[in-house]
């Protein structure tokens, strides 16, 4: 079972090539419930302080039988973090976070940094919005991380170190390959690479590496 979380970005788009099935669970964080309705997605839980969704819209959700967990406005966590906590409580190993990119820069950065949470290590977590998706690779030295990423020729792929340099980066299926190299924090060498075929492979020996995939066609 996958769990789809839908955040409240005002510019949210349904992710390309990722749609919940009948076996999946969809949790909305506040205004994410409105996105779910606009996209024609099912909704199984609404979480948040409802400051951006509004009480009328929340009442419509509740009237359909969807459980609503209302949080106080003054809290330490964002609504998306609360939704993530409910997803983790289900024990799932695959989470797709939608509606988390765009909008305010502070929200966007905070949502991307969610990928670095310790409790997400070992799970397949993707931030997906429209044609863009972001994953995080964690390399531990003794156990290099590897990601096989499906795509299409011409798709863009950017590799961005997080919280330090990314060591031992090796790539396959990209126009500008890397061979056991270091990508340094704050430098943009890994930006805007290009897929040459239907897949790309990324291996990381040590560090944290954001993998940003942009679909260019289809």
The domains located in the chain, with CATH, are 2-130 (3.40.50.10240), 133-214 (3.40.50.10240)
- Confidence at residue 204, expressed as pLDDT on a 0 to 100 scale: 97
Cβ partners under 8 Å of residue 99, min gap 6: 6, 7, 8, 9, 12, 29, 31, 32, 35, 129
How much is the average pLDDT of 177-204?
Answer: 96
DSSP helix/strand/coil, 90: coil
Tell me which residue has tokens 């798709």: 155
The pLDDT of 75-94, averaged and rounded, is 92
Instruction: With cut-offs at 50, 70 and 90, classify the pLDDT of residue 54.
Output: confident
Inter-residue contact 162 to 183 (CB < 8 Å): no
**Contacts of 155 by beta carbon, 8 Å cutoff, 6+ apart:** 194, 195, 213, 214, 215, 216
Measured CA to CA in angstroms, residue 89 lies from 165, 172, 209 at distances of: 32, 36, 26
Answer whether residue 142 shows pLDDT above 80: no
List strand residue ranges (DSSP E) for the chain, in order. 2-6, 25-29, 45-48, 68-70, 94-98, 124-129, 132-150, 156-172, 181-183, 193-194, 199-214
Q: Tell me: the pLDDT tens digits for 86-109?
A: 999 998 999 999 999 988 899 899
The β-bridge partners of 42 are none
For residue 143, pLDDT over 90 is answered with no
DSSP-derived letter for residue 39 is H
Beta bridge partners of 46: 28, 68
pLDDT of residue 218: 56
Distance in angstroms (rounded) separating the CA atoms of residues 26 and 44: 5
Alpha helices by DSSP H, listed for 40-162, are 55-63, 79-89, 105-113
| CA 178 – CA 190 distance, rounded (Å) | 9
| Predicted confidence (pLDDT) per residue in 98-139, tens digit | 999 988 899 899 999 999 999 999 899 999 999 999 999 999
pLDDT value, residue 61: 83
- CA-to-CA distance for 76 and 217, rounded, in angstroms? 40
Q: Select the more confidently predicted residue: 26 or 140.
A: 26
pLDDT of residue 217: 80
More confident residue, 56 or 189: 189
Q: What is the mean pLDDT of the chain?
A: 92
The pTM is what?
0.92
Range from 30-39, 46-55, 154-163, 199-208 carrying the lowest mean pLDDT: 46-55
Angstrom distance (rounded) from CA 81 to CA 107 = 11
């Amino acid at each position: 079972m996958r769990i789809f979380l839908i955040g409240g970005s005002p510019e949210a788009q349904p992710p390309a090539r990722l749609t919940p099935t009948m076996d999946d669970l969809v949790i909305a964080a506040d205004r994410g419930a409105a996105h779910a309705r606009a996209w024609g997605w099912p909704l199984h839980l609404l979480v948040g302080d409802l400051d951006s969704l509004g009480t009328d819209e929340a009442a419509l959700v509740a009237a359909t039988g969807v459980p609503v967990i209302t949080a106080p406005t003054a809290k330490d966590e964002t609504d998306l973090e609360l939704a993530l906590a409910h997803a983790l409580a289900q024990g799932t190993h695959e989470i797709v976070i939608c509606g988390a990119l765009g909008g305010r820069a502070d929200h966007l950065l905070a949502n991307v940094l969610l990928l670095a949470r310790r409790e997400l290590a070992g799970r397949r977590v993707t931030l997906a919005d429209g044609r863009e998706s972001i994953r995080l690779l964690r390399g531990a030295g003794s156990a290099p991380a590897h990601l096989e990423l499906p795509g299409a020729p011409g798709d863009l792929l950017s590799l961005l170190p997080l919280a330090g340099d990314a060591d031992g980066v090796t790539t396959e299926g990209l126009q500008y390959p890397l061979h056991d190299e270091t990508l340094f924090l704050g430098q943009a060498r890994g930006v805007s690479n290009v897929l040459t075929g239907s897949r790309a492979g990324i291996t990381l020996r040590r560090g944290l590496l954001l993998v940003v995939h942009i679909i260019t066609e289809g």
